[in-house]
Structure 1
Amino acid sequence: MDFIELFRESFPSLLSGLTVTLKITALALVIATLLGLLFGLMSISNNKLLMFIARIYVDLIRGTPLIVQAFFIYFGLPTALDFKINAFSAGVAAVGINAGAYMVEIFRAGIMAVDKGQMEAARSLGLSYRKSMAKIILPQAVRKMIPAFINQFIISLKDTSILSVIGIRELTQSGEIIIASNYRAFETWGMIGIMYFVIIMLLSYTARSLERRLVI
């Protein structure tokens, strides 16, 4: 079997795995964005308890490997709390919670990068802290954070390869299944690497383009 024939036979399975990878990444980034916004606002709060909770979340998640978090969500929690969760949902949760800890710092840095005078001006006009943050500060902060968001998307995309350990048939496990049937590891892993490379380069180019246009 030459490489062209191998590629033709393997591509549908690899494309299916890539689709699962992208779905997990996209859903996880939605979760991560919500967690990042919530804990990011808590981390800059004047309330010491909220700041402490945000710091615990960030330190705990960033201080443990994603593979341990995936095992904990897929095997540990269901055993302890007596419920069932499918591998896909566990994978989305694991990547989302993991990325959320990094998004906290992205949100915090983005908000802190906005001139303090913006908040003072908004408050002097009679806006509450919540409205000032929602209408004045966050729109400016998000503009600065978009390149970092895309960089986190790239990192999370690569992190999904770890989820093969809990049985999710994403791109990496699709490749492992193909190799088990044809023993063409070099060519198969080469195709997988190229698929990751193309997607990540497209995202990297988008990040650089947005950075030139949006970061001020």
Structure 2
Amino acid sequence: MSAPVRVLVCDDQVLIRTGLSTIIDAQPDLEVAGECGDGRTAVELAGRLRPDVVVMDVRMPVLDGIEATRLLAGAGVEHPVKVLVVTTFNLDEYVYEALRAGASGFLLKDAPPDRLLHGIRTVAMGSALLDPEVTRRLVGRYAARIRPAEGGAPDVPLTPRELEVLCLIADGLSNSEIAAALVISHETVKTFVSRILTKLDLRDRVQAVVYAYRHGLVT
């Protein structure tokens, strides 16, 4: 058997932190490597405990989840840690900033336990976790801020079809939805996504969404 996924839980509310840890520890393929209540401690513990995934709240004392995520998973970090942000709808602006900081995905705090567990496993495997509907609302709301202020879209090194797939990703569509929209197979979509990430030197779908909006490829 492979080793369980080690998870660091970071939330300043003890009740939520305990609840998350209890749910995670009950799974045979997951284990809680540690707990903490602020971003600074999360960064310190991650360096010492080397978790596979950090479940990160956004608003916390000492150092918030956005800055902690940037220190754990941002550009230039030598040994990045996968971060799954868990937050509430009214903090969606902060979630967007956390995604820009390097988070691999996000969940809402009222998500059912199986969704949380799926999210941890998904992020641990190196995939991004983006709920299509939440992504549309989240990125769409802040698109004006992150698109270039002037000028057209840059010269992007993608084929027309790859560009089309990237725009659909930015619209929050899943692979299955993209396959249906373009009338192609699910495996073909996965191939396109892989090529897009490689050509643009992006880590995952989260970065692809941010790239598309920041470069004015979608409106």
TM-score w.r.t. structure 2 length? Answer: 0.27
Give the structure with higher Rg (CA). Answer: 1
Higher relative contact order (CA 8 A, sep 6+): 1
TM-score w.r.t. structure 1 length? Answer: 0.28
